[in-house]
Structure 1
């Protein structure tokens, strides 16, 4: 709901001031009045005025000089010039000095309301633009804060490990040195992944990422992705099963689909239990292709599912405490799926496992 609009009527005719006030207050506007330019400018400078109706001829000055003052002092108040001396020249002159509109006397309540409504819509749009600008600034600052935190923590860890090496706290044991360097490498890989995800996200949201659809076989792409993660799955004793029959022809952007399904397969293994199972299903039915990636892992709590595709969101549970991640992967997945004209759904039972279902058009346009 829009905030109340406060209107100032500057006119030396008492009947005009009272008439405007009566019409406008009946519609819920807050109305103040001034009988001359000095009083009107004082009220404008004191703030709290959103719209001014300014008479062209006033006892102490003309309305044009008030427009000059409003503009020179940077007062953010649109003005409607009201006058009995309405000519094309005066209307053009008032507009050049910043008048929002021009209303010729005598005018009816309907004409007054029409002019005010147009100005109020302008004020509403200005307020919305200001709100969006402030929200964008807030989001940008929050984004920087989160990224700084996400990079600062692993950097501090690496610095601590390297300091221990330099100060000799690790001794001369090569195995101790190897463990420390492996931990440094792990933290560095996490930072690299965060930076890569940030770059992907920035390209998508800025619209600079160009999609290049081509004829492809989805089954071959899924085979390749599963093969890449076989060593990771073997280390956790996770079995990866493939339930699809090649070929699965599509016309789509291979790079985008690789990012989508790499994230989903990686997560299915990463958040799985030792000795668990991942199942990758895919099929084409008519004009659509559906891919399901299921796991028997730790699952997702109901309250976390609502925020799952939010940037930088990571579920905080005892099971996820030591699992690395940027919190950007699923946000990128959803944006890419929607960019390709598809949809993504998730089903999960905490403690039992999760299924992500991606549905895409078999042939993507452009």
Structure 2
């Protein structure tokens, strides 16, 4: 047992740790899988314009031409001559504008210069595959000479802006007839870009290896571009599917911007290589649009996380800044575009820092997805810092990550949006299932309601027939007596006349009383309309019913024999139960032979009070009993004296007994007679259940009735008081919160009205009540001496009933 508890504790702690660290783990995985981007070649630095590669095996590897090259400012040197005397040495891989000359002055961005590097090659014996150069964009026009021969030209170099024509193509340059060394001379001019000179890193090696490297770069760029396009479309579709996902729309534009940047700024320069140099500057402007898209929509996404007013204002400022940047990118002249764009790009770092602050604040306030955004943005910033270090120190040997640091930010957002979409889908699926279940439940309710309506319609038709039946019987008796008097009026003695008139008066009086009772019965229908339950004596009710049907029995010479050894009392609707007794007793007289006997008895049988009515008459077959107790319409059988009836009274009796959880058993033998046993609960445990929630009230009432409780239901305090005026229940259960008169008002009103002897236990229930310890509330309301308990409605009906019975023990 201890082992199980310990294991469960360890498992829970481990799960909590993984849950807490899930975002760092995800990003660590992304960082690990992206490590291939940190492609490193042998760290071989050129010294004073010479790179010694004699010991390298170029058949297996390539080398980055980094280190210090010879550098000649504002001079296109002759590639066939020895080095001029004005030589200086400058690191490559970084633009010349960030370097200083011998006088300690920075080189300007715009100008022209020559680079020179001597590469010492290994001795012969390696593969015959020629050497080659993989040349990235050298800002921004150049000519390359190898051993004095022109091997490549990109754009048009010139000593002035008018003669200069930029080009951003990347090239693979085969070097033929190269054996022991390569003397590289590169003439570069720049009048169109902030970053000038050999800003990228040139790779040198065998042509086959250079092609493999290029294919990897080129394939990777296209894969990323396609992937970015698909992600942009994916997020747009997510937004179209769920317009509430506005972040998905923003991410769609961010991915579109990254697609533009990937196609224009990565080493392969895909779009620049697809078009001629005439499209160089338009494509450069197009790349700025990609930057603006990422800046605006990415910043909008970050600023909205904190939900603070100051960052809403920042969004307005970001919109103005992005719009201004867009106008600059589209309309600034070519000779000023690079410089102006550079400053706009540099100032954009401010928005990145503000975005990090916004995400940090959202993380502090535990906003939705704040951890995801914080760790992803932090990694993107770290990636950018690493890139700055690698760019400024190319001698480290690692290539910058470039846009991959931005991927660290956007990929987790895709995960977040996808998880959100999955949650929406699951929620939609759950709602759909719930709607389907409710639809099925509604269909079942409609069917049940339709059946109940049909049953109610049948009952109403039955009730009309029943009124005719029940009123006709006593009035027929009166009519027959009057016929007798009229036929032999002169021969009838005064005493007999008086007796007949009393019988007639009694019959009419009983008919009037019967009409009143039938009108009371009319409130009962197939839906189980509320019962007006009271505590009454069954014997007294039977005496009244026997007295009302006695004229009918007298006409047929039938004697009603009553045996009631007990004085049974029950809680029920007296009028409706009386209707049951009268209908069965009337039918017994109707189908009894002339001058026979009807027996009525009252006994206790276990938990039930049994009222049995037996007659000696026509009797019924099993098939007749089955039809009589069913719901199908049947044809009435005439009585022993030719009496007509509806044949529907028994069905009404069964409905009334069902509403009282009572039973009716019929035994009959054809030609001998029938026995009707009516079983009613003798329980005097009665509860007045007051609650405005019909579902809760019916559920609890059903459970309590199964536990032998007589349940009287009320929907509010006023209705409960009307019940209390007629009956004193064993228990009152009332809801606290009800429209009109609430539970506390009902309790105080009852305490003011009740007699001193009417001390009824009261239980207060509420959905607000604690599952335990409700006495504090009763003390606050001053009800601790009146209310027995304050219970929660959150319990199941069975458990709540059990608690109630435990309190009353």
TM-score by length of 2: 0.25
Q: Report whether the alignment pairs 1:213 with 2:532.
A: no
Q: Report whether the alignment pairs 1:308 with 2:624.
A: no
| Cα separation, partners in 2 of 1:148 and 1:252, compared to 1, 3 Å | closer
Q: Report whether the alignment pairs 1:236 with 2:556.
A: yes
SS at match of 2:588: helix
| Cα separation, partners in 2 of 1:333 and 1:134, compared to 1, 3 Å | closer
Unaligned runs of 5+ in 2: 1-234, 250-418, 470-485, 488-506, 687-728, 730-809
State how 1:258-337 maps to structure 2 within 5 Å.
Answer: 258-285=578-605, 287-309=607-629, 313-317=633-637, 322-337=642-657
CA–CA distance in 1 between the matches of 2:594 and 2:554?
10
Partner of 1:123: 439
Q: Report whether the alignment pairs 1:250 with 2:569.
A: yes
Q: In the TM superposition, what is the alpha-carbon distance from 1:298 to its structure 2 partner? A: 1.4
SS at match of 2:595: coil
Q: In the TM superposition, what is the alpha-carbon distance from 1:345 to its structure 2 partner? A: 1.0
Partner of 1:163: none
State how 1:92-171 maps to structure 2 within 5 Å.
Answer: 105-106=421-422, 114-136=430-452, 138-139=454-455
| Cα separation, partners in 2 of 1:256 and 1:149, compared to 1, 3 Å | closer
Q: In the TM superposition, what is the alpha-carbon distance from 1:356 to its structure 2 partner? A: 0.6
Q: Is the 8 A contact 1:282 1:291 kept in 2?
A: yes
Partner of 1:73: none
Structure ranking higher on relative contact order (CA contacts 8 Å, 6+ apart): 1
CA–CA distance in 2 between the matches of 1:287 and 1:234?
36
| Cα separation, partners in 2 of 1:236 and 1:57, compared to 1, 3 Å | farther
| Deviations 1:266-311, CA, capped at 9 Å, x for gaps | 1110121223321112223564321110111112232232243457
| Deviations 1:3-24, CA, capped at 9 Å, x for gaps | xxxxxxxxxxxxxxxxxxxxxx
1:357 aligns with one of 677, 702, 715: 677
Partner of 2:101: none
CA–CA distance in 2 between the matches of 1:146 and 1:228?
22
SS at match of 1:127: helix
SS at match of 1:360: strand
Q: Is the 8 A contact 1:292 1:357 kept in 2?
A: yes
SS at match of 2:524: helix
Q: In the TM superposition, what is the alpha-carbon distance from 1:137 to its structure 2 partner? A: 5.1
SS at match of 1:242: strand
State how 1:62-101 maps to structure 2 within 5 Å.
Answer: 83=242, 86=245
CA–CA distance in 2 between the matches of 1:304 and 1:229?
25
CA–CA distance in 2 between the matches of 1:358 and 1:293?
8
TM-score by length of 1: 0.51
Equivalent pairs, count: 244
Q: Is the 8 A contact 2:528 2:659 kept in 1?
A: no
SS at match of 1:308: helix
Partner of 1:203: 524
Q: Is the 8 A contact 2:618 2:672 kept in 1?
A: yes
Q: In the TM superposition, what is the alpha-carbon distance from 1:110 to its structure 2 partner? A: 7.8
| Cα separation, partners in 2 of 1:303 and 1:315, compared to 1, 3 Å | farther
Q: In the TM superposition, what is the alpha-carbon distance from 1:203 to its structure 2 partner? A: 2.9
Q: In the TM superposition, what is the alpha-carbon distance from 1:57 to its structure 2 partner? A: 7.5
Unaligned runs of 5+ in 1: 1-55, 64-81, 91-102, 154-173, 176-185
SS at match of 1:252: strand
Q: Which has the larger radius of gyration?
A: 2
